[in-house]
Amino acid sequence: MKLVCIECGKSRRPDNPYPMSCDCGGLLEVEHDFRGADAERLKALFDSRIALRTGPYASGVWRYKELIDPGLEEARIVTRGEGNTGLYDCGPAASFAGVRRVWLKAQGENPSGSFKDNGMTVAVSRGAAAGFRTFACASTGNTASSLAMYAAWAGLRCVVLVPPGGVADGKLAQTVCYGAEVYGIEGGYDTGVRLLNRCGEELGLYVCNSFNPFRIEGQKSIVIEAAHQLDWTLPDWIVLPGGALSNASALGKGLREMKAIGLIDRLPRVAVVQAEGASPFHRMIASGGKELVPEPAPRTAASAIRIGNPPSWRKAARVLRETDGVTCAVSDEEILAAKRVIDRAGVGCEPAAAAGLAGLKKLAADGTIGKDETALVILTGHMLKDTDALRVAPDAGGGPFSPDELLARLGRRA
């Protein structure tokens, strides 16, 4: 295994995290050597681990260690049993979107409540193994919650930079409760990422933003686990929200590697959905542009994807080329309509997570996705993460009523 620059191809050993990008400015990516991999042997190994209830291989990420970080010593793994999330065949979501079948992959069921745990377990394990004691990130919320949780669990220091007023209350509370040092930063997420990228090494920080290539490796487990749950087949489409575009990059890499090894025999197409007010990647793809033009003032109620300058856009663009993928942008109204369907179906998710289903509906309506096709929609975060956006019925919380009044209201005649 080695780290390879996605721009110039220069490579180096994976043990030292710095510099976290190439001299040429390109992002680094983990390159595995899967030449000896045997799909049938791997499937049997992964199946055998399903029976485990404790230890690192009971994790829904580390179950797939051979595909994610084969070189890491087992004793170095920092895990909270992440992954192992539900995959729900959801009729109401399929009817809403206007396609044949929709599977919801509920990453909100992770220990800190979002898919960030899938990647963070690998980044923190690698950083601690390299001897770092202080971990840092810039975050719109869920990255901070996740990093704070793993740092607390492993007894490490955690520093997070957040856009003032730009993080949902629940996420901030979670981060503070886990013991992280939280700093607001002028200019928000995009400025925070730039600052950590430039000064992390000098400050002795192990930076866990998504340009950290090990997060991408861990996030691949979302599609690997979904394929395993579906007996090594996948639906026609994988649909997910895009902010920093790390997850689109990760899922695409996971698909490519599973296909190369022979774990799956067909590549699904990937659809990346952005919020209209924070959609620089969609604009670039739709206009046929070759360079991403950042959005200086990103706006959307879905705070987790309120990102104007997504660091991983080049990796995500490659995923679109390789999977014949597409992008689209949806309004906040469309996001909240999709969220209502997911909530009422009994699964639930935070607003950013609902962008995927909103995009699926839009792409099915304009014929990009066929009505007889099937989709796996990644629900990236938990319903209780962003309670600012929860809709409460106007008559909720009436009362208090006496027991007799209540029985009368519920329809019982005296």
Ligand X SMILES: *Cc1c(COP(=O)(O)O)cnc(C)c1O
Interacting residue ranges for ligand X, rule: CB under 6 A: 114, 116, 142, 210, 241-247, 304-305, 350, 352-353, 380-381
Among residues 97 and 353, whose Cβ is nearest to ligand X? 353
Residue at token pair 């890499």: 253
Mapped to the 3 state alphabet, what secondary structure does 283-348 carry? HHHHHCCCCCCCCCCCCCCCHHHCCCCCCCHHHHHHHHHHHCCEEEEECHHHHHHHHHHHHHCCCC
Nearest CA among 95, 58, 6 for reference residue 361:
95
> Taking CB under 5 A as the rule, does residue 5 contact Zn ion?
yes
Q: Which does 247 bind (CB under 5 to 8 A by kind): Zn ion, ligand X, none?
A: ligand X
Contacts (CB under 5 A) with Zn ion, residues 261-320: none
Among residues 27 and 42, whose Cβ is nearest to ligand X? 27
Among residues 42 and 104, whose Cβ is nearest to ligand X? 104
Report d(CA 193, CA 190) in Å as an integer.
Answer: 5
Nearest distance in Å: CB 25, Zn ion: 7
Nearest CA among 197, 180, 187 for reference residue 146:
180
Nearest distance in Å: CB 210, Zn ion: 18
> Taking CB under 5 A as the rule, does residue 120 contact Zn ion?
no
Nearest distance in Å: CB 352, ligand X: 4
Q: Which does 305 bind (CB under 5 to 8 A by kind): Zn ion, ligand X, none?
A: ligand X
Q: Which does 8 bind (CB under 5 to 8 A by kind): ligand X, Zn ion, none?
A: Zn ion
Among residues 213 and 242, whose Cβ is nearest to ligand X? 242
- Could you give the C-alpha distances from 296 to 188, 288, 310, in angstroms and in order? 11, 20, 12
Report d(CA 206, CA 147) in Å as an integer.
Answer: 11
Among residues 42 and 251, whose Cβ is nearest to ligand X? 251
Among residues 177 and 408, whose Cβ is nearest to ligand X? 177
Q: Which does 158 bind (CB under 5 to 8 A by kind): Zn ion, ligand X, none?
A: none
Nearest distance in Å: CB 95, ligand X: 24
CB distance 320 to 272 below 8 Å: yes
The number of beta carbons lying within 10 Å of the beta carbon of residue 286 is: 13
Among residues 46 and 214, whose Cβ is nearest to ligand X? 214
Nearest distance in Å: CB 404, ligand X: 45
Among residues 21 and 229, whose Cβ is nearest to Zn ion? 21
Nearest distance in Å: CB 20, Zn ion: 12
> Taking CB under 5 A as the rule, does residue 8 contact Zn ion?
yes
Q: Which does 268 bind (CB under 5 to 8 A by kind): ligand X, Zn ion, none?
A: none
Q: Which does 217 bind (CB under 5 to 8 A by kind): Zn ion, ligand X, none?
A: none
Nearest distance in Å: CB 240, ligand X: 8
Nearest distance in Å: CB 300, ligand X: 11
Contacts (CB under 5 A) with Zn ion, residues 9-68: 10, 22, 24, 26
Q: Which does 136 bind (CB under 5 to 8 A by kind): ligand X, Zn ion, none?
A: none
Backbone angles phi, psi at 391, to 5 degrees: -95, 120
Nearest distance in Å: CB 176, ligand X: 18
Q: Which does 177 bind (CB under 5 to 8 A by kind): Zn ion, ligand X, none?
A: none
Q: Which does 24 bind (CB under 5 to 8 A by kind): ligand X, Zn ion, none?
A: Zn ion
Nearest distance in Å: CB 305, ligand X: 5
Among residues 238 and 305, whose Cβ is nearest to ligand X? 305
Among residues 42 and 146, whose Cβ is nearest to ligand X? 146
Residues of this chain that bind Zn ion (CB under 5 A) = 5, 7-8, 10, 22, 24, 26
